[in-house]
Chains A and B, each alone.
Chain A
């Protein structure tokens, strides 16, 4: 096990992409666990920071492709929240690369494992979160 990675996935595209990857049997690291949000725009900086505090080594938010959000601009809002959170992480001494926002389409099953791979390799590179377990 490399680390604990939390993926906030919007219930339309992010979640569906993971569903499709599963149905196509595309394997990826079990370190990733998905939390379903109605829209990536639901994400609050609070959720991301709490996840790190609870022991996550990396966090990502997966929303729809720009222009295809089921709720028009949810994914744009999500990106803003993610950028805000990156800034806060940096000021706390946590490498902001541990957090990322991705745009993915519901029928891109191949993409979900790549997102996971990306986050796993970042954790491998950066090591476990400086907050430690339940820091």
Chain B
């Protein structure tokens, strides 16, 4: 197995599993255990609200602190240059910055570290502003700041260089596994962004049909499909399936089955573009009671029913019929009225879910004479010629009997085969079979597995125009991933094999599947997948796992500084 190229620091090796090994760190200094402390005045929001010189005095006398400077703005250009200077002058191998929140400035100082040969994970930032000077009185703020900075210094003294690397994608191709519209749109977006695609479809992709248009020009999707199947930049496997999917973001490997052949491919990202399927309710007999999709086909064949009743509720208790129901109904209703203004259309609904601009369709339908009956209970149907639909009209409080040549019912959306796909890609599926997008951070279309994106009605019921937005958004994210540098490693977990008892607790509790049992029979952490949360470290019964920037000792030395004694 060849080593990935472009990797600066970490020697990643083996089939897609990055081992947490001591890296060849680029010109970083040897460890000197000399700490620098830089206190920020923060323009008066620190200095002026506490006695910063007192802090400096108390901190400079700590063991290991070679220099303790008060600066106007360490985060500014001048400040950063001064820090770099101090690192050189005092031969520091780590430093502490005390000022505002690390959530705002941490990256800045990690860059300063990199630029001066200091491992960026040997920088500790103490918050003496939002957590101190902004909210406490002068003396209290001062004594608390002293404790906070001392705690940071003590932690800093226990830091060790963490392995990390910035890598670019090994593979620029994106794997798209899909069964419908979202797959086509995703591939189209990838192609328009100059990408290369492996497209896997569970059936012959020439048979991809698109049922409902919702504002998309008819024929557009079919033309897109044909263009994609013809494109040099797309390798199509269909009928095909994905059997295994492994590796790290930007460097995945997948095992595909295409027809009778097995094929292994590499890709930088994957998109699962899955559509749920329409499941018509049992009462649909195909003649008098049909689905909205069937009605659309009828209308395309110019067969306009004389009187139609559209039922947009489910027989079961589920109150919400799905986002697409009323949009389909309104469009078909409007089409009927355009083709035959005398035809009768009644839409039976609990609420008319004409979201957003669709409300305009609702207004137009009303003005064209489409009747809307609001009801809380499912109507009764009396078979015969014509059909009679009996519905309790909520607004007038009476039962209505409506004659109908045709009745349309709302289909269920049901995703199929998603359990298996979910397991292959590491993308969890809920109890109804829908893919679960990550709840973490605002990352629409992302699954919890980094590098795998989700789109389609198999994630959530949505209208075709929403599918288009989602699929293009997912494809955009996938392209961004394969085109960007990602940093791996750093504040990650590491297992001490001597303490590990291979109990598998870490393997079971990690949400990102980073721990695995290695060849030695002990647990190891794939730092390409490790997100640095420390759940494994907190749960390990043998205390075999530590996090580089959050070891047990580093935590306890902070609590010691913060609580120990009343006269620090």
Contact = CB atoms under 8 A, between A and B. Distances in A.
A87 B441 CA distance: 34
Given A33-B148, A42-B534, A44-B537, A18 B131 contact: yes
Contacts of A54: 556, 559-560, 563-564
A101 B141 CA distance: 26
Contacts of A25: 134-135
Interface stretch (B18-26, B54-62, B368-376, B547-555): B547-555
A56 B509 CA distance: 30
A78 B543 CA distance: 16
Contact of B564 (A19, A41, A134): A134
B131 A22 contact: yes
A56 B448 contact: no
Contacts of A69: 440
B134 A6 contact: no
Nearest to A10: B533
B550 A50 contact: no
Contacts of B137: 30
A88 interface: no
B363 interface: no
Contacts of A26: 135
A28 interface: yes
Interface string A12-48: 0001101111110111101001111111011110110
Interface in B290-347: none
Bin the interface of chain B by size: 35 or more
A119 B172 CA distance: 52
A124 interface: no
B202 interface: no
Contact of B441 (A23, A37, A70): A70
Contact of A6 (B531, B549, B562): B562
With most chain A CB atoms within 10 A of its CB, the pick from B103, B537, B563, B564 is B563
Nearest to B555: A47
A88 B559 CA distance: 19
Given A25-B134, A27-B135, A74-B533, A51 B563 contact: yes
Interface residues of A, number: 47
Contact of A39 (B127, B129, B141, B533): B533
B147 interface: yes
Contacts of A20: 130
B533 A42 contact: yes
Contacts of A47: 552, 555-556, 559
Nearest to A4: B563
A37 B559 CA distance: 12
A4 to B, nearest CB: 5
A86 B16 CA distance: 42
Interface string A78-96: 1001000000000000000
B101 interface: yes
B76 to A, nearest CB: 20
Interface in B19-50: none
Interface string B433-461: 00000011100000010000000000000
B532 interface: yes
A88 B130 CA distance: 34
B151 interface: yes
A15 B485 CA distance: 28
B559 A133 contact: no
Contacts of A67: 439
A103 interface: no
B565 interface: yes
A18 B140 contact: no
Given A33-B144, A67-B439, A38 B511 contact: no
B10 interface: no
A33 to B, nearest CB: 4
B535 A73 contact: yes
Given A46-B552, A55-B563, A73-B535, 17 more contacts: A4-B563, A18-B131, A19-B103, A22-B130, A22-B131, A27-B136, A30-B137, A30-B143, A35-B558, A37-B550, A38-B534, A38-B550, A42-B555, A51-B559, A68-B440, A77-B535, A133-B565
Interface of A: 4, 6, 11, 15-16, 18-23, 25-28, 30, 33-39, 41-44, 46-47, 50-51, 54-56, 67-74, 77-78, 81, 133-134
Q: State the 7 A-B residue pairs at the shortest beta-carbon distance, nearest first.
A: A22-B130, A42-B534, A71-B533, A72-B511, A39-B533, A41-B535, A30-B140
10 contacts: A18-B130, A22-B127, A25-B135, A33-B144, A33-B148, A33-B563, A56-B559, A70-B440, A71-B440, A74-B535
